[in-house]
Amino acid sequence: NAGVMQNPRHLVRRRGQEARLRCSPMKGHSHVYWYRQLPEEGLKFMVYLQKENIIDESGMPKERFSAEFPKEGPSILRIQQVVRGDSAAYFCASSRTGTAEPQHFGDGTRLSIL
Amino acid sequence: GDSVTQMEGPVTLSEEAFLTINCTYTATGYPSLFWYVQYPGEGLQLLLKATKADDKGSNKGFEATYRKETTSFHLEKGSVQVSDSAVYFCALSYGQNFVFGPGTRLSVLP
């Protein structure tokens, strides 16, 4: 009974490169959420997606960041032209219905920008 | 809008001490309430939940009661262990909103 799977666990990129973070939700879950966590800080909501739809992207920077959740395959958070300030832990969560249900989290991707 | 406020940490306790982490919320309706725990290097894990007023969520010795009159959901444990050292997040869910508090770091000393 696999939980939320994120990969890679650790990702190192140089400034200007692209970062792709993947998230496979729990079986039967069609709602996916992405969060960013800086060291010693709380979670910052980025984006909420259902299959093939972005429901709420109010927490995601308008430039360089994009997210998708295709009909088949994992959800992808894409960061183009990364900068040092993008270094953080990125967590994905999923839920079954998206309403009043708990979210289940993956172990995160730690992104480091050199 | 909906929001969650938690007591600021860090909270440092000795083993077997009593724990309370305060959480209050603001919501337009009647949300579901949750406590999550994050151990170092890991994602958040659901600790307990309550979906309506006066419900008590409990797990692993932790408890929290949904208090509508005080809009609170304080986390308690009667006797903490070193292994409880982690960051604890209070959260609410209402409609499509899911809001986390800022987290409270707990350190339990042997």
Please give the mean pLDDT across all residues of chain A.
93
Residue A97, judged by CB atoms within 10 A of its CB (0-12, 13-18, 19+), counts as exposed
Minimal Cα distance from A31: which residue of B? Answer: B96
Interface residue A79 vs chain B (CB under 8 A): no
Measure B15 CA to nearest chain A CA, in Å. 23
Say if residue B4's pLDDT is above 90. yes
Interface residue A25 vs chain B (CB under 8 A): no
Say if residue A1's pLDDT is above 60. no
pLDDT of residue A48: 94
Interface residue A48 vs chain B (CB under 8 A): yes
B interface with A, Cβ–Cβ below 8 Å? 31-32, 34, 36, 41-46, 49, 51, 89, 93-96, 98, 100-103
State mean pLDDT over B47-58: 96
pLDDT of residue A43: 87
**Each residue of A94-108: pLDDT tens digit?**
998 877 788 999 999
Minimal Cα distance from B10: which residue of A? Answer: A40
**Each residue of A28-79: pLDDT tens digit?**
999 999 999 988 788 899 999 999 899 999 999 999 999 999 999 999 999 9
Say if residue B96's pLDDT is above 90. no
Minimal Cα distance from B29: which residue of A? Answer: A100
Say if residue B97's pLDDT is above 90. no
- Asked if B96's CB is within 8 angstroms of A56's CB, the reply is yes
Residues 6+ apart with CB under 8 A from B84: B19, B77, B106, B108
pLDDT of residue A109: 97
Please report where in the chains the tokens 């953080």 appear, as a residue.
A88
State mean pLDDT over B29-37: 93
Instruction: Tell me the pLDDT band of B9, cut-offs 50, 70 and 90.
Output: confident
Measure B37 CA to nearest chain A CA, in Å. 11
